[in-house]
């Protein structure tokens, strides 16, 4: 599976001898289908020219604040990136990042981005081995920065030791792994998506405007993060995401049954479907005839799938969705607590927002925290959400749950 296709990779190039290898890295990333933007430090320009990267990426290259086009490029690039990879990373940039400095464009982007940051140190072995550099690298690792390399071998200066930049194919692998493996690798994820249809009679039903796009995007993003994904979908006109097992259902009751058959064996349950709150108290077995008198429909509550799963003795890590027309934050926290779930992703719905559109923005809330995911395509919002789910899942006490799985497979 190609995890890099369509991903936004921001490559930071610093002033080191290995900068010439960054051109090959960019070429490989493009070949894997990624969109690449290059930000060079001022020193990098002394080692390799911007035109090389411009030609390889098909995009403008940023060499510093003077290339700022919008006046806010550091923020826009920070938001644009799915991953930031600094290769080569000099001793100096490691020091700047460790200190949280923002006195050049690349360092400012690293502060502003919520995308995972990977750095590929490249320097003389004595510079790499110096306690100052080692301390800076340790600080960055503690903050979650992924250190790629350095490799050991012969250096440009003639020394032999640790400090060579990892070769571009290995960096390509590292960045691909950061999407494809790791985050949800080895986990089973169950996702619901789309609307449900609650039959009034053999030809009519009550439903809602959900297109299923958000749930399908979550399923695709979870698959890309290495999970084994089952998607239980109400009636939608979307293709099955690659590598995802799809179960089609119509009503809330059918969705509940399909979920409950699988909930005990999943690690994470994401309830993105817009399940009916109410269903007709009775479904007529024959088509209801038109009458001149008013017709009153009697409704009863539909099954609450999320609350049912969350109430299981060994419940999976549950993530709910809430479509709200007002008071987003207040209602999000209230609904999360009310359902007894670990995480809730809330979005405002209304004209051009939420349902049946290609873009979305989310407020994700959990115990003691929240994250606003800016408006973007539903797929890119889903990637961010899945990263957050993976982080919260890893931080949650799910031992009980894993034990119950061990019993299952025994």
Contact region with ligand FMN (CB under 6 A), list: 12-20, 23-31, 135-143, 287-295: 12-20
Which uninterrupted H or E stretch holds 38?
strand 35-40
CB of 103 to ligand FMN, least distance (A): 10
Assess 17 for contact with ligand FMN (CB under 6 A).
yes
Question: E strands within 171-297?
Answer: 188-193, 198-199, 205-206, 228-233, 245-248, 268-271, 278-280
Strand partners, 83: 9
**Residue of the chain from 11, 14, 174, 255 that contacts ligand FMN (CB under 6 A):** 14
Least gap, CB of 16 to ligand FMN (angstroms): 3
Residues 123-162 that bind ligand FMN (CB under 6 A): 123, 127
CA dist., res. 161 & res. 142, Å (int): 24
Instruction: Kindly tell me which residue out of 44, 266, 322, 362 binds ligand FMN, with binding defined by CB under 6 A.
Output: 44
Per-state percent for the chain, helix, strand, coil, to nearest 5: 40, 25, 40
Three-class HEC string of 280-330: ECCCCCCCCCCCCCCCCCCEEECCCHHHHHHCCCCCCEEEEEEEECCCHHH
**Which of 130/204 has CB closer to ligand FMN?**
130
Q: How far is the CB of 158 from ligand FMN (least distance, A)?
A: 13
Q: Which of 8, 29, 36, 41 binds ligand FMN (CB under 6 A)?
A: 41
The CB-side HSE value for 29 (13 A sphere, CA atoms) comes to 32
359-366 and 369-377: which strand pairing? Answer: antiparallel
Window 61-100: contact mask with ligand FMN (x via CB under 6 A): -----------------------------xxxx-------
Question: Would you call 266 a catalytic residue per the annotation?
Answer: no
Exactly one of 148, 157, 266, 318 is catalytic; name it: 157
Residue with tokens 């084994």: 228
Q: How far is the CB of 72 from ligand FMN (least distance, A)?
A: 21
Binding-site ranges for ligand FMN (CB under 6 A): 14-17, 41, 43-44, 90-93, 122-123, 127
| Residues forming the active site | 157
């Amino acid at each position: 599976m190609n995890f890099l296709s369509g991903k936004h990779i921001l490559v930071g190039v610093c002033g080191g001898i290995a900068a010439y290898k960054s051109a090959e890295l960019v070429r490989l990333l493009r070949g894997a289908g990624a969109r690449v933007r290059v930000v060079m430090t001022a020193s990098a320009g002394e080692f390799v020219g911007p035109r090389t990267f411009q030609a390889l990426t098909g995009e403008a290259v940023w060499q510093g604040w003077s290339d700022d086009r919008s006046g806010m490029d550091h923020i826009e690039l920070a938001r644009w990136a799915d991953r930031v990879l600094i290769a080569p990373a000099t001793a100096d940039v490691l020091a700047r990042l460790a200190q949280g400095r923002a006195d050049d464009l690349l360092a400012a982007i690293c502060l502003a981005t919520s995308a995972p940051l990977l750095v590929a140190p490249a320097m003389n072995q004595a510079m790499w081995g110096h306690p100052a550099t080692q301390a800076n690298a340790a600080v960055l690792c503690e903050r979650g920065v992924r250190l790629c390399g350095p490799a050991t071998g012969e250096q440009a200066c003639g020394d032999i030791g640790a400090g060579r930049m990892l070769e571009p194919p290995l960096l390509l692998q590292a960045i691909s792994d950061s999407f494809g493996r790791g985050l949800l690798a080895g986990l089973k994820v169950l996702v619901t998506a789309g609307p449900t249809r609650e039959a009034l009679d053999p030809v009519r039903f009550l439903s809602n405007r959900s297109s299923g796009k958000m749930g399908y995007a979550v399923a695709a993003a979870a698959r890309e993060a290495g999970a084994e994904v089952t998607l239980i979908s109400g009636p939608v006109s979307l293709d099955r995401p690659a590598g995802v097992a799809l179960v089609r259902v119509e009503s809330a009751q059918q969705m509940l049954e399909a979920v409950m058959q699988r909930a005990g064996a999943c690690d994470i349950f994401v309830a993105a479907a817009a399940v009916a709150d109410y269903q007709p108290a009775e479904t007529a077995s024959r088509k209801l005839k038109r009458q001149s008198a008013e017709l009153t429909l009697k409704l009863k509550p539909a099954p609450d799938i999320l609350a049912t799963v969350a109430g299981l003795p060994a419940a999976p890590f549950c993530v709910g969705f809430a479509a709200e027309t007002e008071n987003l934050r207040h209602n999000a926290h209230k609904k999360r607590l009310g359902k007894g779930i670990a995480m809730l992703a809330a979005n405002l719905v209304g004209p051009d927002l939420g349902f049946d559109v290609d873009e979305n923005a989310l407020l994700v809330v959990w115990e003691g925290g929240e994250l606003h995911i800016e408006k973007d395509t539903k797929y890119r919002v889903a990637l961010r959400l899945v990263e957050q789910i993976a982080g919260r899942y890893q931080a949650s006490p799910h031992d009980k749950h894993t034990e119950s799985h061990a019993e299952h497979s025994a």
